[in-house]
Amino acid sequence: MESKSNDPTPTGLVIARDLMFTSKVTGTAEAIGHRMRTAADRESARTLIERWHPAVIVVDLTAGESASPESLAEYRRLAGDSTHLIAVGPHVDADRLAAARAAGCQLALPRSKFSAELPALLREWFSSL
């Protein structure tokens, strides 16, 4: 696969406040040839989605207002149906995972499952590029 990491336009976006989480996702994406930007708040996320229309958006559901059901629905509207909108949260928070699906996320995964399958998941989500 040809690396896209030197392309100034990111192919993905991570919306999170947790530096370990963002580093894991962006580092894994970089290793398979894709560049992901990060946003820690709703306004930054909205701006980046409007500017770059990323193919993949990963949202950490523990990121406060930027991960609210209203924010997720807005990201879905801004990004369009072709963008993979993925929510990741604690496995014990089934209500929040369900709310993310209801707000327009194609997948709402427990953090442990997401982490265990991250390289394969990113390859799948980026395969349409």
Residue 10's pLDDT is what?
82
Residue 3 included in any domain: no
Residue 5's pLDDT is what?
43
Residue 8's pLDDT is what?
61
Residue 125 included in any domain: no
Residues in the chain predicted with pLDDT less than 50, given as ranges, are 1-7
Query: What is this structure's pTM?
Result: 0.91
Structural domain including 81 reads 12-120
Question: Which CATH number is 16's domain given?
Answer: 3.40.50.2300
Residue 27 included in any domain: yes
Residue 110 included in any domain: yes
**How many independent structural domains does the chain possess?**
1
Residue 2's pLDDT is what?
33
Across the beta sheet with 12-15, the strand order is: 36-39, 12-15, 56-60, 84-89, 107-110
- Distance (Å, rounded) from C-alpha 115 to C-alpha 109? 10
CB-facing half-sphere around the CA of 30: CA atoms within 13 A: 11
Residue 128 included in any domain: no
Burial of 41 (0-12, 13-18, 19+ CB in 10 A): middle
Q: Which amino acid is at 2?
A: E
Residue 83 included in any domain: yes
